[in-house]
Amino acid sequence: MNTLKIQHVKDCFEHGDHSLGLRRLIDCVMDTNDLKIQQSLLDLIDAYESSNEIDPSNLDALIQKLIQYQYPENTASHASLLEVKDLAKQYQSSQFKISPISFTLKYGEVVGLVGENGNGKTSLLRLLCKDLEQDGGSIKYAAEQNSKSLFELRSRLIYIPQRVPRWYGSLMDNLHFTLSSYGITGEENLMRAELIIARLGLRPFKNHTWNSISSGYRTRFELAKSLLRKPELMLLDEPLSNLDIISQQTILQDLKYMSESTSHPFGLVLSSQQLYEVEKISDLVIFLRQGEAQYQYKNQDLQEGQELIFEMEIEESRDAITKAFESIGISQIQFNGGVYVIHFKAGSNTNEIFTTISEKKLNVNYLRNITQSSRRFFIQ
């Protein structure tokens, strides 16, 4: 596993992807508990930030150290982290309820929650972090085995709400406080805080306060703080909402990568409106409508007789589209004012659709196959 990761780091640097290479390198180094290796990495980062170049000899030396490092064997990585069975919640103050939901999450896996606003995503996350009491079903945590009390269990379930709670003092002080509260003291405390802020691109803001950084960096800070807490289960409510488009793509990939940590893997449940970004990293996507769940598993096979569904932004009219795809056969076509969602009859295939677009010279600006995407659940 680590050999693969280290090879990936080497590849990144060889191909000139220094930024990605550094991020992955930090992940590998953070998996170690070796302060000397961590210090070497920080020196490397300092040099990179000052000259914008990586010293190959220092990099090679560091990679060699990583190759020689004996990573601890983590036996928990394949175990089930969370088993949710028929979980239900009925709010007394309103008619809204979450109908029975069941799923399993292992270490290193990601569950994405999608759905329109007010359909139960936040409620489900709060149920999972024990902030809400369920009315039915069960939640079984792997962390329960090592927890003497409910408080101890909750301290292992890290929930970041959509609206990040305000913090006071400098960013760095907060990280040091978090680490020392978790018993990580002295040099190790300093080192880990430095590494995590480097990992999440917060170095220039280390002495900044809440008021002097943007909401996107506040979210990054919250993630940094949560990652330092060695979570077993991370529950993120709309973590992408304050991030720019580039960060949205990278942060989720990074989180997925970090959840597969060698020394400390964790599970991730996150809600988001960025459907396709979430789908990319999720092992399971749960779509919630009025509290009822529909499930989309990763690499789920196409079922026999299932229609092909395409999302298409096209300049032609509805009639022209219907006529163009007449030979393939359209069972349903919907237009939301921006894009068409076209259901092709069962038995059709993707190649036929592309060929038709090409032959009929249709002016397509955007095209996506959503047959195996939870995007299709949004269609009324």
Partner 1 sequence: MIKKINQYLLLNHPLLWNIKIVQVLIFALICHSFFFLIGYNSVYGLSVFKEWEYSGLEHFQTFLFGGLLLVLGLIVWLIYYLRHNAFKSFYPVTKTRLRKEFLLVFFVFILNLPIFHTYLYARHLKLLKISAHLNPEEDAKIVNLAAAFIPTSSNKYDSQNCYDSMQARGEREKNMPPPPPDYCDINSSEPVSIEEVTAAVAPNEEITTLSSSYSEYLYGNYYQKAIENVEYKNDANDYHFIVKRWLKNKERDSIKACLQAYFKTMDKYHARHKVDIDTLVAWCFIDEKNTVYHEVTSYYGGLKEFEYAQLGYMEGEFDAINSAINHVNSLKTEGFFSATQTIIYLYIALGLSILLILFRFTRLKPWISAIIGTGVWSIIFGLLTFAFDEDIQYVFILFVFLCLFLSIQFIRSKHNKLFSALWLHWFSFGFLGFFPLLMYNIYRATGEINKCINHVWVTVRPAYPIHDWIDSNWASIGLINWSIGILVTLFLIIPLCYRWQANPSE
Smallest gap from Cβ 180 to partner 1, in A, equals 4
DSSP string, 279-311: HHH-SEEEEEETTEEEEEETTPPPPTTPPEEEE
What three-state secondary structure class fits 113? strand
Residue 320 contacts partner 1 per CB under 8 A: no
Residue 335 contacts partner 1 per CB under 8 A: no
Handedness of CA 189, 192, 195, 199 (dihedral sign): negative
Smallest gap from Cβ 14 to partner 1, in A, equals 38
User: At a CB cut-off of 8 Å and minimum separation 6, what does 155 contact?
Assistant: none
Residue 374 contacts partner 1 per CB under 8 A: no
Contact 333/308 with Cβ under 8 angstroms? no
Residue type, 348: S
Residue 11 CA to residue 14 CA, distance in Å, equals: 5
Smallest gap from Cβ 190 to partner 1, in A, equals 7
Residue 176 contacts partner 1 per CB under 8 A: yes
Applying CB under 8 A, which of residues 50, 51, 95, 151 lies at the interface with partner 1? 151
Smallest gap from Cβ 169 to partner 1, in A, equals 6
Number of residues binding to partner 1, judged by CB under 8 A: 33
Residue 90 contacts partner 1 per CB under 8 A: no
Residue 185 contacts partner 1 per CB under 8 A: yes
Residue 166: burial class (beta carbons within 10 Å; 0-12, 13-18, 19+): exposed
Residue 96 contacts partner 1 per CB under 8 A: no
Residue 128 CA to residue 139 CA, distance in Å, equals: 7
Stretch that binds partner 1, among 75-83, 128-136, 269-277, 292-300 (CB under 8 A): 128-136
Residue 202 contacts partner 1 per CB under 8 A: no
- Interacting residues with partner 1 (CB under 8 A): 91, 126, 130-133, 149-155, 157-158, 167-169, 173-174, 176-183, 185-186, 189-190, 229
